[in-house]
Protein backbone atom coordinates (compact mmCIF):
# COMPACT_ATOMS: atom_id res chain seq x y z
CA UNK A 1 0.00 0.00 0.00
CA UNK A 2 1.39 3.39 -0.99
CA UNK A 3 1.92 5.78 1.90
CA UNK A 4 1.36 9.50 1.76
CA UNK A 5 5.00 9.94 2.82
CA UNK A 6 6.24 8.83 -0.60
CA UNK A 7 3.46 10.76 -2.33
CA UNK A 8 4.64 13.90 -0.57
CA UNK A 9 8.15 13.35 -1.84
CA UNK A 10 9.39 11.92 1.47
CA UNK A 11 11.30 8.84 0.47
CA UNK A 12 11.71 7.18 -2.91
CA UNK A 13 8.73 6.90 -5.28
CA UNK A 14 7.45 3.42 -6.05
CA UNK A 15 6.40 1.90 -9.34
CA UNK A 16 2.76 2.21 -8.26
CA UNK A 17 3.10 6.00 -8.52
CA UNK A 18 3.56 5.93 -12.29
CA UNK A 19 0.53 6.86 -14.35
CA UNK A 20 -0.15 8.55 -17.67
CA UNK A 21 -0.38 12.32 -18.00
CA UNK A 22 -0.59 12.39 -21.79
CA UNK A 23 -4.33 12.59 -22.48
CA UNK A 24 -5.18 14.86 -19.49
CA UNK A 25 -2.36 17.20 -20.53
CA UNK A 26 -3.68 17.33 -24.10
CA UNK A 27 -7.19 18.11 -22.80
CA UNK A 28 -5.91 20.87 -20.52
CA UNK A 29 -3.65 22.42 -23.16
CA UNK A 30 -6.40 22.29 -25.79
CA UNK A 31 -8.79 24.00 -23.39
CA UNK A 32 -6.19 26.65 -22.57
CA UNK A 33 -5.45 27.34 -26.25
CA UNK A 34 -9.17 27.62 -27.07
CA UNK A 35 -9.63 30.02 -24.16
CA UNK A 36 -6.77 32.12 -25.51
CA UNK A 37 -8.36 32.14 -28.96
CA UNK A 38 -11.67 33.25 -27.42
CA UNK A 39 -10.16 35.94 -25.19
CA UNK A 40 -7.40 37.55 -27.27
CA UNK A 41 -9.64 39.23 -29.91
CA UNK A 42 -11.89 40.87 -27.30
CA UNK A 43 -11.93 44.68 -27.23
CA UNK A 44 -10.52 46.68 -24.35
CA UNK A 45 -12.58 47.26 -21.26
CA UNK A 46 -12.23 50.42 -19.16
CA UNK A 47 -9.21 49.45 -17.07
CA UNK A 48 -7.37 48.33 -20.19
CA UNK A 49 -8.37 51.56 -21.87
CA UNK A 50 -6.77 53.42 -18.99
CA UNK A 51 -3.58 51.40 -19.52
CA UNK A 52 -3.45 52.32 -23.20
CA UNK A 53 -4.33 55.93 -22.42
CA UNK A 54 -1.35 56.04 -20.06
CA UNK A 55 1.27 54.48 -22.26
CA UNK A 56 0.56 56.33 -25.49
CA UNK A 57 2.00 59.48 -23.89
CA UNK A 58 5.74 60.33 -23.75
CA UNK A 59 7.55 58.34 -21.07
CA UNK A 60 7.89 61.21 -18.53
CA UNK A 61 4.15 61.82 -18.81
CA UNK A 62 3.47 58.09 -18.41
CA UNK A 63 5.18 58.28 -15.03
CA UNK A 64 3.14 61.35 -14.07
CA UNK A 65 -0.09 59.63 -15.07
CA UNK A 66 0.77 56.54 -13.06
CA UNK A 67 1.62 58.67 -10.04
CA UNK A 68 -2.05 59.69 -10.01
CA UNK A 69 -3.28 56.12 -10.44
CA UNK A 70 -3.19 53.28 -7.90
CA UNK A 71 -0.36 51.21 -9.37
CA UNK A 72 3.44 51.53 -9.45
CA UNK A 73 4.94 52.35 -12.86
CA UNK A 74 6.94 49.30 -14.00
CA UNK A 75 4.23 47.58 -16.03
CA UNK A 76 3.29 50.83 -17.75
CA UNK A 77 6.92 51.53 -18.64
CA UNK A 78 7.17 48.07 -20.22
CA UNK A 79 3.83 48.50 -22.01
CA UNK A 80 4.93 51.92 -23.29
CA UNK A 81 7.85 50.37 -25.20
CA UNK A 82 5.78 47.33 -26.18
CA UNK A 83 3.12 49.55 -27.75
CA UNK A 84 5.85 51.47 -29.56
CA UNK A 85 6.88 48.15 -31.19
CA UNK A 86 3.56 46.36 -31.83
CA UNK A 87 0.93 49.12 -31.77
CA UNK A 88 -2.23 49.41 -29.69
CA UNK A 89 -4.48 46.69 -31.07
CA UNK A 90 -5.99 44.72 -28.15
CA UNK A 91 -4.60 41.37 -29.31
CA UNK A 92 -1.11 42.85 -29.77
CA UNK A 93 -0.94 44.54 -26.38
CA UNK A 94 -2.27 41.42 -24.64
CA UNK A 95 0.76 39.49 -25.88
CA UNK A 96 2.87 41.24 -23.24
CA UNK A 97 0.65 39.76 -20.52
CA UNK A 98 0.72 36.39 -22.25
CA UNK A 99 4.51 36.48 -22.33
CA UNK A 100 4.81 37.26 -18.63
CA UNK A 101 2.29 34.47 -17.95
CA UNK A 102 4.56 32.04 -19.80
CA UNK A 103 7.46 33.19 -17.61
CA UNK A 104 5.28 32.64 -14.53
CA UNK A 105 4.39 29.09 -15.62
CA UNK A 106 8.06 28.31 -16.25
CA UNK A 107 9.02 29.38 -12.74
CA UNK A 108 5.98 27.58 -11.31
CA UNK A 109 7.10 24.34 -12.94
CA UNK A 110 10.61 24.77 -11.54
CA UNK A 111 9.22 25.61 -8.09
CA UNK A 112 6.90 22.57 -7.97
CA UNK A 113 9.73 20.32 -9.14
CA UNK A 114 12.05 21.77 -6.50
CA UNK A 115 9.42 21.36 -3.78
CA UNK A 116 8.48 17.79 -4.73
CA UNK A 117 9.21 16.16 -8.09
CA UNK A 118 8.73 16.43 -11.84
CA UNK A 119 5.36 14.63 -11.81
CA UNK A 120 3.96 17.13 -9.33
CA UNK A 121 5.26 19.94 -11.51
CA UNK A 122 3.61 18.44 -14.60
CA UNK A 123 0.20 18.08 -12.93
CA UNK A 124 0.50 21.59 -11.51
CA UNK A 125 1.16 22.97 -14.98
CA UNK A 126 -1.73 20.91 -16.33
CA UNK A 127 -4.16 22.41 -13.80
CA UNK A 128 -3.01 25.98 -14.41
CA UNK A 129 -3.19 25.67 -18.20
CA UNK A 130 -6.87 24.72 -17.93
CA UNK A 131 -7.76 27.58 -15.56
CA UNK A 132 -10.04 30.21 -17.07
CA UNK A 133 -9.19 32.71 -14.34
CA UNK A 134 -5.46 32.59 -15.04
CA UNK A 135 -5.97 32.56 -18.80
CA UNK A 136 -8.33 35.52 -18.51
CA UNK A 137 -5.65 37.68 -16.92
CA UNK A 138 -3.06 36.33 -19.36
CA UNK A 139 -5.03 38.03 -22.16
CA UNK A 140 -5.76 41.30 -20.37
CA UNK A 141 -3.68 44.42 -20.98
CA UNK A 142 -3.03 44.85 -17.28
CA UNK A 143 -0.22 44.07 -14.84
CA UNK A 144 -1.52 40.99 -13.05
CA UNK A 145 0.47 38.31 -14.90
CA UNK A 146 3.61 40.37 -14.32
CA UNK A 147 2.76 40.22 -10.60
CA UNK A 148 2.32 36.46 -11.00
CA UNK A 149 5.68 36.10 -12.75
CA UNK A 150 7.39 38.18 -10.06
CA UNK A 151 5.91 36.06 -7.27
CA UNK A 152 6.73 32.73 -8.92
CA UNK A 153 10.29 33.87 -9.67
CA UNK A 154 10.82 35.22 -6.15
CA UNK A 155 9.33 32.10 -4.53
CA UNK A 156 11.49 29.79 -6.62
CA UNK A 157 14.71 31.62 -5.75
CA UNK A 158 13.66 31.95 -2.09
CA UNK A 159 13.07 28.22 -1.67
CA UNK A 160 16.25 27.42 -3.58
CA UNK A 161 18.11 29.81 -1.25
CA UNK A 162 16.73 27.96 1.78
CA UNK A 163 18.04 24.72 0.31
CA UNK A 164 21.41 26.24 -0.64
CA UNK A 165 21.90 29.43 1.42
CA UNK A 166 25.53 29.80 0.36
CA UNK A 167 24.53 30.55 -3.27
CA UNK A 168 24.56 34.36 -3.53
CA UNK A 169 23.10 34.27 -7.05
CA UNK A 170 19.89 32.74 -5.69
CA UNK A 171 19.43 35.59 -3.21
CA UNK A 172 20.09 38.10 -6.00
CA UNK A 173 17.42 36.44 -8.14
CA UNK A 174 14.96 36.60 -5.24
CA UNK A 175 15.72 40.29 -4.73
CA UNK A 176 15.31 41.17 -8.42
CA UNK A 177 11.95 39.43 -8.79
CA UNK A 178 10.66 40.96 -5.55
CA UNK A 179 11.75 44.37 -6.85
CA UNK A 180 9.76 43.70 -10.03
CA UNK A 181 6.75 42.78 -7.88
CA UNK A 182 6.73 45.85 -5.62
CA UNK A 183 7.17 48.16 -8.62
CA UNK A 184 4.25 46.43 -10.37
CA UNK A 185 1.54 46.35 -7.66
CA UNK A 186 1.35 47.85 -4.18
CA UNK A 187 -0.31 44.77 -2.69
CA UNK A 188 2.69 42.68 -3.72
CA UNK A 189 4.22 43.84 -0.43
CA UNK A 190 1.91 41.27 1.19
CA UNK A 191 3.84 38.55 -0.66
CA UNK A 192 7.05 40.05 0.74
CA UNK A 193 5.55 39.90 4.24
CA UNK A 194 4.64 36.23 3.68
CA UNK A 195 8.21 35.44 2.62
CA UNK A 196 9.48 37.21 5.75
CA UNK A 197 7.12 35.14 7.91
CA UNK A 198 8.32 31.90 6.32
CA UNK A 199 11.99 32.74 6.91
CA UNK A 200 11.16 33.85 10.45
CA UNK A 201 9.63 30.43 11.07
CA UNK A 202 12.72 28.76 9.66
CA UNK A 203 14.89 30.91 11.95
CA UNK A 204 12.91 29.63 14.95
CA UNK A 205 13.76 26.13 13.77
CA UNK A 206 17.48 26.93 13.86
CA UNK A 207 18.21 28.47 10.45
CA UNK A 208 19.11 31.94 11.77
CA UNK A 209 21.55 32.54 8.95
CA UNK A 210 18.63 32.67 6.52
CA UNK A 211 17.00 35.51 8.43
CA UNK A 212 20.21 37.55 8.44
CA UNK A 213 20.57 37.23 4.69
CA UNK A 214 16.90 38.05 4.23
CA UNK A 215 17.37 41.14 6.38
CA UNK A 216 19.98 42.45 3.96
CA UNK A 217 17.76 41.59 0.98
CA UNK A 218 14.72 43.27 2.54
CA UNK A 219 16.75 46.38 3.36
CA UNK A 220 17.93 46.60 -0.25
CA UNK A 221 14.34 46.15 -1.45
CA UNK A 222 13.04 48.97 0.77
CA UNK A 223 15.90 51.26 -0.33
CA UNK A 224 15.16 50.48 -3.98
CA UNK A 225 11.50 51.40 -3.45
CA UNK A 226 12.15 54.64 -1.53
CA UNK A 227 11.73 56.88 -4.63
CA UNK A 228 8.14 55.69 -4.98
CA UNK A 229 7.19 55.60 -1.28
CA UNK A 230 5.71 59.16 -1.12
CA UNK A 231 3.56 58.43 -4.17
CA UNK A 232 2.39 55.10 -2.72
CA UNK A 233 1.43 56.70 0.61
CA UNK A 234 -0.45 59.50 -1.13
CA UNK A 235 -2.37 57.21 -3.44
CA UNK A 236 -3.28 54.63 -0.78
CA UNK A 237 -4.42 57.47 1.47
CA UNK A 238 -6.72 58.64 -1.33
CA UNK A 239 -8.09 55.10 -1.59
CA UNK A 240 -9.09 54.76 2.07
CA UNK A 241 -12.73 55.28 1.18
CA UNK A 242 -12.59 52.59 -1.48
CA UNK A 243 -10.87 50.17 0.91
CA UNK A 244 -13.58 50.79 3.49
CA UNK A 245 -16.18 50.00 0.85
CA UNK A 246 -14.32 46.83 -0.10
CA UNK A 247 -14.04 45.84 3.53
CA UNK A 248 -17.82 45.79 3.78
CA UNK A 249 -18.14 43.19 1.05
CA UNK A 250 -18.90 39.53 1.87
CA UNK A 251 -15.28 38.37 1.79
CA UNK A 252 -15.72 35.27 3.93
CA UNK A 253 -15.09 32.28 1.73
CA UNK A 254 -14.83 34.40 -1.43
CA UNK A 255 -11.13 33.92 -2.07
CA UNK A 256 -11.20 30.25 -1.09
CA UNK A 257 -14.28 29.61 -3.19
CA UNK A 258 -12.85 31.37 -6.23
CA UNK A 259 -9.43 29.76 -5.88
CA UNK A 260 -10.87 26.29 -5.41
CA UNK A 261 -13.49 26.87 -8.08
CA UNK A 262 -10.82 27.81 -10.61
CA UNK A 263 -9.06 24.48 -10.13
CA UNK A 264 -11.69 22.21 -8.55
CA UNK A 265 -15.23 22.39 -9.97
CA UNK A 266 -17.25 22.93 -6.79
CA UNK A 267 -20.50 23.71 -8.62
CA UNK A 268 -20.66 20.44 -10.61
CA UNK A 269 -19.44 18.40 -7.62
CA UNK A 270 -21.67 19.82 -4.88
CA UNK A 271 -24.97 18.35 -6.20
CA UNK A 272 -23.39 14.90 -5.97
CA UNK A 273 -22.51 15.35 -2.29
CA UNK A 274 -24.97 15.33 0.64
CA UNK A 275 -23.61 18.69 1.83
CA UNK A 276 -24.25 22.35 1.05
CA UNK A 277 -21.67 24.12 -1.14
CA UNK A 278 -20.24 25.98 1.86
CA UNK A 279 -19.67 22.76 3.79
CA UNK A 280 -18.19 21.18 0.67
CA UNK A 281 -15.67 24.03 0.51
CA UNK A 282 -14.81 23.66 4.18
CA UNK A 283 -14.43 19.89 3.82
CA UNK A 284 -12.22 20.25 0.77
CA UNK A 285 -10.12 22.91 2.51
CA UNK A 286 -9.64 20.50 5.41
CA UNK A 287 -8.53 17.74 3.04
CA UNK A 288 -6.05 20.12 1.40
CA UNK A 289 -4.64 21.08 4.79
CA UNK A 290 -4.39 17.43 5.75
CA UNK A 291 -2.53 16.53 2.57
CA UNK A 292 0.07 19.19 3.39
CA UNK A 293 0.82 17.59 6.77
CA UNK A 294 3.89 15.37 6.83
CA UNK A 295 2.57 12.40 8.79
CA UNK A 296 -0.35 11.14 6.67
CA UNK A 297 -0.61 7.56 5.49
CA UNK A 298 -3.01 4.86 4.46
CA UNK A 299 -3.11 1.72 6.58
CA UNK A 300 -5.54 -1.10 5.80
CA UNK A 301 -7.85 1.31 4.05
CA UNK A 302 -7.89 3.77 6.97
CA UNK A 303 -6.53 7.31 6.65
CA UNK A 304 -4.33 8.21 9.61
CA UNK A 305 -3.26 11.81 10.28
CA UNK A 306 -0.47 12.77 12.63
CA UNK A 307 0.28 16.45 13.21
CA UNK A 308 3.63 16.26 14.93
CA UNK A 309 5.32 18.63 12.49
CA UNK A 310 5.16 19.99 8.98
CA UNK A 311 7.51 19.31 6.11
CA UNK A 312 9.49 22.20 4.66
CA UNK A 313 7.44 22.26 1.41
CA UNK A 314 4.17 22.18 3.38
CA UNK A 315 5.29 25.07 5.60
CA UNK A 316 6.45 27.04 2.58
CA UNK A 317 3.17 26.58 0.70
CA UNK A 318 0.97 27.10 3.75
CA UNK A 319 2.54 30.41 4.77
CA UNK A 320 2.61 31.85 1.24
CA UNK A 321 -0.98 30.81 0.53
CA UNK A 322 -2.59 31.97 3.79
CA UNK A 323 -0.85 35.21 4.81
CA UNK A 324 -1.37 37.54 1.78
CA UNK A 325 -5.17 37.15 1.49
CA UNK A 326 -5.67 37.23 5.27
CA UNK A 327 -3.76 40.50 5.63
CA UNK A 328 -5.42 41.84 2.49
CA UNK A 329 -8.85 41.06 3.89
CA UNK A 330 -8.03 42.93 7.09
CA UNK A 331 -7.41 46.13 5.08
CA UNK A 332 -10.35 45.55 2.77
CA UNK A 333 -8.62 44.23 -0.37
CA UNK A 334 -10.33 41.00 -1.31
CA UNK A 335 -10.12 41.06 -5.13
CA UNK A 336 -8.69 37.71 -6.21
CA UNK A 337 -6.50 39.33 -8.86
CA UNK A 338 -4.55 41.09 -6.08
CA UNK A 339 -3.46 37.65 -4.88
CA UNK A 340 -3.31 35.87 -8.21
CA UNK A 341 -0.10 34.15 -7.14
CA UNK A 342 -2.05 32.14 -4.53
CA UNK A 343 -3.87 30.10 -7.18
CA UNK A 344 -0.81 28.35 -8.71
CA UNK A 345 0.44 27.49 -5.22
CA UNK A 346 -2.92 25.89 -4.47
CA UNK A 347 -2.60 23.93 -7.69
CA UNK A 348 0.62 22.39 -6.33
CA UNK A 349 -1.36 21.10 -3.34
CA UNK A 350 -4.10 19.80 -5.65
CA UNK A 351 -1.42 17.97 -7.62
CA UNK A 352 -0.14 16.38 -4.40
CA UNK A 353 -3.70 15.40 -3.51
CA UNK A 354 -4.04 13.51 -6.80
CA UNK A 355 -0.65 11.83 -6.45
CA UNK A 356 -1.49 10.81 -2.87
CA UNK A 357 -4.30 8.49 -4.03
CA UNK A 358 -2.91 5.02 -3.21
CA UNK A 359 -4.05 2.87 -6.16
CA UNK A 360 -2.76 3.68 -9.62
CA UNK A 361 -6.04 2.89 -11.43
CA UNK A 362 -8.05 4.99 -9.00
CA UNK A 363 -5.48 7.75 -9.30
CA UNK A 364 -5.64 7.65 -13.10
CA UNK A 365 -9.45 7.73 -13.04
CA UNK A 366 -9.49 10.65 -10.60
CA UNK A 367 -7.01 12.57 -12.76
CA UNK A 368 -9.15 12.09 -15.88
CA UNK A 369 -12.34 13.03 -14.05
CA UNK A 370 -10.65 15.98 -12.35
CA UNK A 371 -9.32 17.47 -15.58
CA UNK A 372 -12.53 16.93 -17.55
CA UNK A 373 -14.75 18.47 -14.87
CA UNK A 374 -12.34 21.36 -14.27
CA UNK A 375 -12.23 22.13 -18.00
CA UNK A 376 -16.03 21.92 -18.18
CA UNK A 377 -16.43 24.19 -15.16
CA UNK A 378 -13.97 26.73 -16.52
CA UNK A 379 -15.80 26.87 -19.83
CA UNK A 380 -19.11 27.24 -18.03
CA UNK A 381 -17.53 30.10 -16.08
CA UNK A 382 -16.05 31.57 -19.26
CA UNK A 383 -19.36 31.54 -21.12
CA UNK A 384 -20.98 33.28 -18.16
CA UNK A 385 -18.26 35.95 -17.96
CA UNK A 386 -17.51 36.65 -21.62
CA UNK A 387 -20.78 38.49 -22.40
CA UNK A 388 -19.87 40.98 -19.65
CA UNK A 389 -16.16 41.11 -20.50
CA UNK A 390 -16.40 44.78 -21.46
CA UNK A 391 -18.32 47.57 -19.84
CA UNK A 392 -18.74 48.78 -23.42
CA UNK A 393 -18.80 46.64 -26.54
CA UNK A 394 -16.57 48.98 -28.51
CA UNK A 395 -17.07 47.32 -31.92
CA UNK A 396 -20.84 47.66 -31.47
CA UNK A 397 -20.44 51.30 -30.42
CA UNK A 398 -18.20 51.98 -33.41
CA UNK A 399 -20.69 50.30 -35.73
CA UNK A 400 -23.46 52.55 -34.48
CA UNK A 401 -21.26 55.63 -34.81
CA UNK A 402 -20.32 54.57 -38.34
CA UNK A 403 -23.94 55.07 -39.38
CA UNK A 404 -23.74 58.71 -38.32
CA UNK A 405 -23.02 61.48 -40.80
CA UNK A 406 -24.46 60.76 -44.21
CA UNK A 407 -23.20 62.53 -46.30
CA UNK A 408 -19.67 62.85 -44.86
CA UNK A 409 -19.81 66.65 -44.63
CA UNK A 410 -22.52 66.33 -41.99
CA UNK A 411 -20.12 67.18 -39.19
CA UNK A 412 -17.42 66.04 -36.83
CA UNK A 413 -17.34 63.55 -33.95
CA UNK A 414 -15.83 64.79 -30.70
CA UNK A 415 -14.77 62.03 -28.32
CA UNK A 416 -13.04 62.23 -24.94
CA UNK A 417 -9.45 61.02 -25.15
CA UNK A 418 -10.01 57.85 -23.13
CA UNK A 419 -12.94 56.71 -25.29
CA UNK A 420 -11.11 57.77 -28.47
CA UNK A 421 -8.29 55.36 -27.62
CA UNK A 422 -10.81 52.53 -27.34
CA UNK A 423 -12.90 53.41 -30.39
CA UNK A 424 -10.30 54.24 -33.01
CA UNK A 425 -9.51 50.59 -33.81
CA UNK A 426 -13.13 49.88 -34.74
CA UNK A 427 -14.57 53.12 -36.15
CA UNK A 428 -14.85 53.07 -39.95
CA UNK A 429 -17.29 55.94 -40.43
CA UNK A 430 -17.00 58.96 -42.74
CA UNK A 431 -16.75 61.63 -40.03
CA UNK A 432 -13.51 62.93 -38.54
CA UNK A 433 -12.97 61.37 -35.11
CA UNK A 434 -11.33 64.01 -32.92
CA UNK A 435 -10.28 63.53 -29.31
CA UNK A 436 -11.21 66.21 -26.80
CA UNK A 437 -8.02 67.40 -25.19
CA UNK A 438 -6.24 70.76 -25.44
CA UNK A 439 -3.36 70.76 -27.90
CA UNK A 440 -0.73 71.71 -25.35
CA UNK A 441 -1.87 68.80 -23.19
CA UNK A 442 0.30 66.63 -25.42
CA UNK A 443 3.35 68.66 -24.42
CA UNK A 444 3.18 68.27 -20.66
CA UNK A 445 0.41 70.67 -19.63
CA UNK A 446 0.50 71.17 -15.82
CA UNK A 447 -3.16 70.14 -15.68
CA UNK A 448 -1.97 66.65 -16.55
CA UNK A 449 -1.45 66.01 -12.85
CA UNK A 450 -5.14 66.54 -12.17
CA UNK A 451 -6.36 64.09 -14.75
CA UNK A 452 -8.80 61.46 -13.52
CA UNK A 453 -9.41 58.25 -15.41
CA UNK A 454 -12.38 56.71 -17.13
CA UNK A 455 -12.83 53.94 -14.60
CA UNK A 456 -13.85 56.43 -11.90
CA UNK A 457 -16.99 58.56 -11.87
CA UNK A 458 -15.03 61.80 -11.83
CA UNK A 459 -14.39 64.67 -14.17
CA UNK A 460 -11.39 65.07 -16.43
CA UNK A 461 -10.16 68.48 -15.31
CA UNK A 462 -8.74 69.84 -18.55
CA UNK A 463 -9.68 72.98 -20.45
CA UNK A 464 -10.78 71.91 -23.91
CA UNK A 465 -11.08 75.37 -25.44
CA UNK A 466 -8.52 74.83 -28.15
CA UNK A 467 -9.93 71.39 -28.89
CA UNK A 468 -13.33 73.00 -29.47
CA UNK A 469 -11.67 75.51 -31.75
CA UNK A 470 -10.99 72.63 -34.15
CA UNK A 471 -14.76 72.14 -34.48
CA UNK A 472 -15.57 75.77 -35.37
CA UNK A 473 -15.66 75.04 -39.10
CA UNK A 474 -18.46 72.50 -38.64
CA UNK A 475 -22.15 73.30 -38.26
CA UNK A 476 -22.99 69.80 -37.00
CA UNK A 477 -21.19 68.09 -34.15
CA UNK A 478 -21.65 64.64 -32.69
CA UNK A 479 -20.54 64.51 -29.07
CA UNK A 480 -19.62 61.10 -27.64
CA UNK A 481 -19.33 60.98 -23.86
CA UNK A 482 -18.49 58.09 -21.58
CA UNK A 483 -17.45 57.94 -17.93
CA UNK A 484 -14.80 60.62 -18.56
CA UNK A 485 -16.32 64.06 -19.09
CA UNK A 486 -13.84 66.76 -20.11
CA UNK A 487 -14.63 70.34 -19.19
CA UNK A 488 -14.75 73.27 -21.58
CA UNK A 489 -13.51 75.29 -18.63
CA UNK A 490 -13.61 74.80 -14.84
CA UNK A 491 -17.33 75.65 -14.77
CA UNK A 492 -18.84 74.15 -17.89
CA UNK A 493 -18.91 70.75 -19.54
CA UNK A 494 -18.40 70.28 -23.26
CA UNK A 495 -22.12 69.58 -23.70
CA UNK A 496 -23.07 72.81 -21.91
CA UNK A 497 -20.69 74.81 -24.06
CA UNK A 498 -22.00 73.25 -27.27
CA UNK A 499 -25.56 73.88 -26.10
CA UNK A 500 -24.80 77.60 -26.01
CA UNK A 501 -23.43 77.62 -29.56
CA UNK A 502 -25.60 75.01 -31.30
CA UNK A 503 -29.09 73.55 -31.31
CA UNK A 504 -28.91 70.42 -29.11
CA UNK A 505 -30.64 67.32 -30.35
CA UNK A 506 -31.78 64.20 -28.50
CA UNK A 507 -29.26 62.14 -26.54
CA UNK A 508 -28.95 58.49 -27.46
CA UNK A 509 -27.53 56.00 -24.95
CA UNK A 510 -25.40 53.71 -27.08
CA UNK A 511 -24.51 51.34 -24.29
CA UNK A 512 -24.96 51.12 -20.55
CA UNK A 513 -23.50 48.65 -18.10
CA UNK A 514 -25.97 47.17 -15.65
CA UNK A 515 -24.87 47.53 -12.06
CA UNK A 516 -21.92 49.81 -12.84
CA UNK A 517 -23.72 53.12 -13.36
CA UNK A 518 -21.65 53.94 -16.44
CA UNK A 519 -22.73 54.44 -20.01
CA UNK A 520 -21.81 55.83 -23.40
CA UNK A 521 -23.99 58.52 -24.95
CA UNK A 522 -24.10 60.24 -28.35
CA UNK A 523 -25.73 63.64 -28.81
CA UNK A 524 -26.08 65.65 -32.03
CA UNK A 525 -25.69 69.43 -32.10
CA UNK A 526 -26.89 71.27 -35.25
CA UNK A 527 -26.82 74.82 -36.62
CA UNK A 528 -23.66 75.73 -34.73
CA UNK A 529 -22.97 79.48 -34.89
CA UNK A 530 -19.69 79.87 -33.09
CA UNK A 531 -19.06 82.86 -30.87
CA UNK A 532 -15.27 82.87 -30.71
CA UNK A 533 -15.22 84.86 -27.48
CA UNK A 534 -17.27 82.17 -25.78
CA UNK A 535 -14.50 79.64 -26.26
CA UNK A 536 -11.84 80.29 -23.67
CA UNK A 537 -8.43 78.90 -24.68
CA UNK A 538 -6.43 76.68 -22.39
CA UNK A 539 -4.37 78.43 -19.76
CA UNK A 540 -0.68 78.47 -20.49
Residue, of 319 and 236, whose pLDDT is higher: 319
pLDDT on residue 488: 55
Sequence spans of domains, the chain: 4-388, 394-534
pLDDT on residue 253: 44
pLDDT on residue 451: 36
- Work out the number of other CB atoms within 10 angstroms of the CB of residue 163: 11
* Distance between CA atoms of residues 171 and 143, nearest Å: 24
- Work out the number of other CB atoms within 10 angstroms of the CB of residue 456: 14
Q: Which of 47, 19, 7 is nearest to 418 (CA)?
A: 47
Cross-strand partners of 296 = 305
Q: pLDDT tens digits for 68-97?
A: 777 899 999 999 999 999 988 888 899 999
Confidence of residue 33 (pLDDT cuts 50, 70, 90): confident
How far the first Cα of the chain sits from its last, in Å, is: 81
Confidence of residue 441 (pLDDT cuts 50, 70, 90): very low
Q: Which residues are within 8 A (CB) of 469 and not within 5 positions of it... i.e. 6 or more apart?
A: 535, 537
Residue 312 main-chain phi, psi, to 5 deg:
-60, -45
Look at residue 452 and give its three-state secondary structure: coil
**Mean pLDDT, residues 442-470:** 41
pLDDT on residue 102: 92
* Distance between CA atoms of residues 51 and 78, nearest Å: 11
**DSSP class per residue in 105-156:** HHHHHHHHHHHT-HHHHHHHHHHHHT-HHHHHHHTSSSSHHHHHHHHHHHHH
Q: pLDDT tens digits for 249-276?
A: 444 344 445 555 545 544 444 444 444 5
pLDDT on residue 524: 82
144-153, 275-284, 384-393, 468-477: which has the minimum mean pLDDT? Answer: 275-284
220-224, 307-311, 380-384: which has the minimum mean pLDDT? Answer: 307-311
- Work out the number of other CB atoms within 10 angstroms of the CB of residue 388: 12
* Distance between CA atoms of residues 336 and 341, nearest Å: 9
User: What is the bridge-based pairing of β-strands 293-299 and 477-481?
Assistant: unpaired
**DSSP class per residue in 330-378:** HTT---GGGGTTHHHHHHHHHHHHHHT-SSHHHHHHHHHHHHHHHHHHH
pLDDT on residue 64: 78
pTM of the model: 0.72
**Contacts within 8 Å (CB) and 24+ apart, 440-449:** 440/466, 440/538, 440/540, 441/538, 442/57, 444/58, 444/60, 444/61, 445/538, 447/538, 447/539, 448/61, 448/64, 448/65, 449/64, 449/67, 449/68
DSSP letter assigned to residue 471: G
* Distance between CA atoms of residues 383 and 392, nearest Å: 17
Could you tell me if 341 and 147 are in contact, meaning their C-beta atoms sit under 8 angstroms apart?
Answer: yes
**Cβ burial, residue 196 (10 Å; 0-12/13-18/19+):** middle
Confidence of residue 18 (pLDDT cuts 50, 70, 90): low
The HSE-up count of residue 2 (CA atoms within 13 Å, CB side) is: 23
Q: What is the CA radius of gyration of the chain?
A: 27
Q: How far is CA 289 from the centre of its chain?
A: 27
User: What is the bridge-based pairing of β-strands 503-513 and 477-481?
Assistant: unpaired
Amino acid sequence: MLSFRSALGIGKPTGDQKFSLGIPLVIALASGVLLLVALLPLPYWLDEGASIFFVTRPLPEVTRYVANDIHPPLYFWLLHFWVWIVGTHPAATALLSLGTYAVALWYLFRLARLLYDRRTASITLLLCCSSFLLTYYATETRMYTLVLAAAMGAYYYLYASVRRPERLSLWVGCFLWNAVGVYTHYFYWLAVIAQTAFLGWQALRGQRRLLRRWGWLLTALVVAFIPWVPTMVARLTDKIGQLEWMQGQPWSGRLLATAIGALVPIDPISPLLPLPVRWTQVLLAGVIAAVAVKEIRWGQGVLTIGCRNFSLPATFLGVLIVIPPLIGQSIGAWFVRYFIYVLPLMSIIFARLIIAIPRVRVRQTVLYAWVVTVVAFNWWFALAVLPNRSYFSWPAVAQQLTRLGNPPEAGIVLVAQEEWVLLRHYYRGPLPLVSILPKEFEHGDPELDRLRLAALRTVTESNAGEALAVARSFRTIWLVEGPSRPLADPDRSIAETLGGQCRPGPMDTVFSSQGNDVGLTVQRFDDCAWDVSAIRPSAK
